[in-house]
Amino acid sequence: MEASMAMAMLIGLVVLLLVLTRALLRASAFPREMDGIPGSLGWPFVGESLSFISEFSSPAGIFSFMNKRQQRYGKVFKSYVLGRYMVFTTGREASKMLLTGKDGMVSLNLFYTGQKVLGPNSLLQQNGEDHKRLRRLIAEPLSIDGLKKYFQFINTLAIETFDQWPGQKVLVLEEASTFTLKVIGNMIMSLEPTGEEQEKFRENFKIISSSFASLPFNIPGTAFYRGMKARDRMFEMLDTIIARRRNGNDLQQDFLGSLIKKHNKEGKDDDEKLTDAQMKDNILTLLIAGHDTTTAALTWLIKFLEENPAALDRLREEHMEIRSKRQVGTSLTWSEVNNMPYTAKVVSETLRRATILPWYSRKAAQDFEINGYSIKKGWSVNLDVVSIHHDPQVFADPFKFDPSRFDDHLRPYSYLGFGNGPRMCPGMNLAKLEISIFIHHLVCRYKWKALEKDDSVQPTLVRMPKNKYPVFVELL
């Protein structure tokens, strides 16, 4: 045991030395190319990482870090954060330029750990025609028509979830996480909401999710190491399910079933097929993308409603009216969930105000200019979404939660709740469906009161309340 621990420490030291050496080599050359970009690279090796992490976890979030530097340097500035030389930029024009990625100008820029966790075949690691092809192949189950067959499962699951809430202290983040993970697990591979297989699935997924933005040390005891091992276990589980399906023992009309059917179809163009490795990497991608952001959105929405009684009253009025027109003994219908105009505005305002993904990272695939500054091929260019969502010239009184601001159409690229351009969130329709169903049953049955007023957020890529937002729930 002692020998293995000593070996692990030695490996860790070697990795750390390699990282520091790499940083030193980059520090001696790369920043000189950035002389024309205003900003500060901070301290040697760490740069501005400590300030970035500290402010990322504060109630104001990354907005504070960005705003201080924008006040000093303008809309475009450089920094050295989390082991990367970065250029940060904001505004509608920058948004349009970076998110459309015209003529292959930029590509997605995942951290090393994210690349390894998702795998080389992930949609998030593809560019150009490969990205278009893969997105088309996985888009069908996530379309509005494709979601219809999952509506009843989601609705029933929401009802069963809320049956456990009255008179209880509830950690909203935990409940939302369980709900969204059961939904995406059922959609992708027909996992039952309870049972041993579900428990193994949830256990492995949580480890994988927590390792997505961890330090890149793949040695025993680290979050990255645990995440990669959990990824292996998840893929073993998927291999077993795929083998059962191909043997005809477990035919299901789910996302995995549609991919296997395309793969097995005789004479089908190879352009319409995915290998097993491609299937598994993209199932994991959809699990992570379909869980974390929707979980965060549900939690922030419930928090904002409790803090804004007028918005909650108006939302409840819309849902009570829907329920009043329904026959006694019947539940929410597909047509009803697609006719909730004020709910849609509440969702949009939640995503604006919380800005769950505070910045989008891109890698320059070629030299180009942005706001008059030269960007070189290979640079990390980051779009500051928080500042776009809190621009007072677009959103009056931007720190106020006001769903009515979405009564009018906004100019393109001034609101990025689900992103924009060719990489717009493929699970957008699923997220809206889950949130609308969940909120319908919540506001029709319960009132809730926050047990803490802590506004701090977790230091993770997806912004979530640090205290998991505890509430006490009572029947209306």
Closest CA to 390 of 416, 352, 338: 352
What's the rounded Cα separation, in Å, for the pair 180 and 157? 10
Q: Which amino acid belongs to residue 192?
A: E
Q: Which amino acid belongs to residue 6?
A: A
How many other β-carbons are positioned within 10 Å of the β-carbon of residue 203?
A: 13
How many other β-carbons are positioned within 10 Å of the β-carbon of residue 397?
A: 9
What's the rounded Cα separation, in Å, for the pair 214 and 115? 12
Instruction: Output the pTM of the full model.
Output: 0.88
Q: Are strands 359-364 and 169-171 parallel, antiparallel or unpaired?
A: unpaired
Per-residue pLDDT tens digits of the chain, which is 476 residues long: 444 444 445 445 545 554 555 554 454 445 677 888 999 888 877 888 888 877 877 777 778 889 899 999 999 999 988 778 899 999 999 999 999 877 678 888 888 888 898 889 988 888 888 888 888 887 777 788 888 989 999 999 999 999 999 999 999 999 999 999 999 999 988 889 888 889 999 999 999 988 887 777 888 989 899 999 999 999 999 999 888 888 877 777 888 888 887 766 555 566 667 888 988 998 898 888 888 899 999 999 999 999 999 999 999 999 999 999 988 878 899 999 999 999 999 999 999 999 998 889 999 989 999 999 999 988 899 999 999 999 999 999 999 999 999 998 888 999 999 988 888 888 899 999 999 999 999 999 999 999 998 888 887 788 999 999 999 999 99
What's the rounded Cα separation, in Å, for the pair 130 and 143? 20
**423-437: b (≥16 Cβ within 10 Å) or e:** bebbbebbbbbbbbb
Looking at residue 25, its pLDDT comes to 47
Looking at residue 19, its pLDDT comes to 54
**444 annotated to a ligand binding site:** no
What's the rounded Cα separation, in Å, for the pair 208 and 224? 8
For 453: left if phi > 0, alpha if psi spans -120 to 50, otherwise beta; the answer is alpha
361 strand-pairing partners: 382
**What tokens were used for 229?**
């091992």
**Gyration radius (Cα) of the chain, Å:** 23
What's the rounded Cα separation, in Å, for the pair 230 and 242? 18
